[in-house]
Each structure stands twice: as C-alpha cells, then as structure tokens.
C-alpha cells in the first residue's frame, strides 16, 4: 500500500528559529500533498495544498510567509515554520494522494514544541 | 454551523458490543466520505470510505451513508479494547476549478471497556 514518510517525528526549538518538516511519498508519486495542523483535542485543520512544481494553495487565515511550502519533486514536499513561536506548537501532519486514487495516506505526523 | 459535526464523546461501550458513531455534514455537494481512526499522539489511519447511499461493510466495520439526510455513520461490531481511539469523519468535495478538499470533523472518542 501507499506509504508516506514524515520527518522529524518530533522537534523542540527555541522561539524565533525556523523548523523544516519533510513529507515523502515512498512508493508512489504525489502531484498533490496536503499539510494539516492539529491542536490537542481538536480536529485536523487543512493549512495548505502543496502542488508539485507550482505555488502552494493556502487556506484562509494561514500565513504563507510564515509557513513556507515547497514541493520540488513528485515525492517530496517540505513545510518550513519560520520564526516559530510557542503558539505554533502543534501536531503537523502531511498527507498525499496517488494519481487516480480517492483516499489520502497520512504521514506519521511531526510534533513541534516551541519553547 | 460546522461543516462536519460529530459528538465528541466519549462514547463508552462494553467489549463485544456494537459501537455506533455518527456524523452530519452541511455541504450537499460533498461526494466522498471517510472514517479515520486516530490513536492518541498518532496520525489518522483510514478505516472506511463510502461514496454512494447505503451500507458498506468491511469486516467488523459498516459505514452507512444517507445523502438526503446529510448523514454518515460507522458501526463497529464486536468492539474490542483495541478499538478505543478517536474516530474522525471526513467529507470530501471537488472544488470549482479543480482540486478537492477534505474537511474533518472534531472526532468522537470511543472507549471500549472490559
């Protein structure tokens, strides 16, 4: 089955630093990947849709300059949280869909803690 | 009104019983419906997908969809303690101009008690 690898699984950083999270589709090509954020006891909120070779599409209220998304290849998308602050602490999850598929495959998630 | 609504629970059922999880959605243009299971601290994993009205069975799981009532449910038969998790309902639609969007409910916490 389709596998999505996400790295790192957890990261702790100081306020003001930037953190990069990688999302890789291991056994399929994904022209589109999705980035979600989940706060404790809340649902997954779509942050942006990452399109290979073009700019990401951000959801309303998500700052594109703060959450930089790069989808340089058909198997890799990255999310960079720039100048992270404690309120950015959350569980970030990527997902991808193989061409022609109807279902998403999720990565294992990355827990970010900003001190 | 939330786009996808679920009772947050917790829903407690004894081991071996049937657990019934419900979800309503507001967008009549929704075309695809999913149930995901999420263990604490983990990412969601797909349990069931359903696209047309009626029932769809897969092992101990049955998804039910009623588009007229904008309602989708998940039944878990012979509930096991390992089924204890948060169940997320997700509703998808194709966007104007292409692409699609998946909207998640807040999830229902299920506890299966020994």
Q: For the segment B67-110, what is each residue's pLDDT rounded down to a tens digit?
A: 999 999 999 999 999 999 999 999 998 766 666 778 999 999 99
Q: Please choose, from the candidates B114, B106, B36, B26, the residue with its C-alpha nearest in 3D space to the C-alpha of residue B74.
A: B36
B34 in contact with A at a CB cutoff of 8 Å? yes
Distance CA(A1)–CA(A97), nearest Å, equals: 12
Distance CA(B60)–CA(B77), nearest Å, equals: 5
B2 in contact with A at a CB cutoff of 8 Å? no
Q: What is the pLDDT of residues B4-55, one digit of tens each?
A: 999 988 999 999 999 999 999 999 989 999 999 999 989 999 999 999 999 9
A31 in contact with B at a CB cutoff of 8 Å? no
B7 in contact with A at a CB cutoff of 8 Å? no
Q: Please choose, from the candidates B35, B48, B42, B51, the residue with its C-alpha nearest in 3D space to the C-alpha of residue B94.
A: B51
Q: Please choose, from the candidates B20, B90, B19, B83, the residue with its C-alpha nearest in 3D space to the C-alpha of residue B50.
A: B90
pLDDT at B38: 94
pLDDT at A43: 85
CB-nearest partner of A43 from B45, B51, B104:
B104
Q: Closest Cα of chain B to A67: distance in Å?
A: 19
Distance CA(B89)–CA(B25), nearest Å, equals: 9
Query: Chain A, 40-99: which have a CB under 8 Å from a chain B CB?
Result: 42-46, 49, 57, 91, 93
A9 in contact with B at a CB cutoff of 8 Å? no
Q: How many CB pairs under 8 A join A and B?
A: 39
Strand partners, B25: B4
pLDDT at A40: 86
Positive or negative: CA dihedral B40, B46, B52, B58: negative
Average of per-residue pLDDT across B53-72: 97
Distance of alpha carbon A4 from the chain centroid: 11
A34 in contact with B at a CB cutoff of 8 Å? yes
For B48, the closest chain A residue by CA position comes to A103
């Amino acid at each position: 089955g389709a596998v999505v690898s996400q790295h790192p699984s957890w990261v702790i950083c100081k306020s003001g630093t930037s953190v990069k999270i990688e999302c890789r589709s291991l056994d399929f090509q994904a022209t589109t990947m999705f980035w979600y954020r989940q706060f404790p006891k809340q649902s997954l909120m779509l942050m942006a849709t990452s399109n290979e070779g073009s700019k990401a599409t951000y959801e309303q209220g998500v700052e594109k300059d703060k959450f930089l998304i790069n989808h340089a290849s058909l198997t890799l998308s990255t999310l960079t949280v720039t100048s992270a602050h404690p309120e950015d602490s959350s569980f970030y999850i990527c997902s991808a869909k193989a061409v022609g598929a109807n279902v998403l495959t999720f990565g294992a998630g990355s827990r970010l803690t900003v001190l | 009104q939330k786009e996808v609504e679920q009772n947050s629970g917790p829903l407690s059922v004894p081991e071996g019983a049937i657990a019934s999880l419900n979800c309503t959605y507001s967008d009549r243009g929704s075309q695809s419906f999913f149930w995901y299971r999420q263990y604490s601290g983990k990412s969601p994993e797909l349990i069931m997908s359903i696209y047309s009205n009626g029932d769809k069975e897969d092992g101990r799981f049955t998804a039910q969809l009623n588009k007229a009532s904008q309602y989708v449910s998940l039944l878990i038969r012979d509930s096991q303690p390992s089924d204890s998790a948060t169940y997320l309902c997700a509703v998808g639609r194709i966007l104007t101009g292409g692409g699609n969007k998946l909207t998640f409910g807040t999830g229902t916490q299920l506890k299966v008690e020994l």
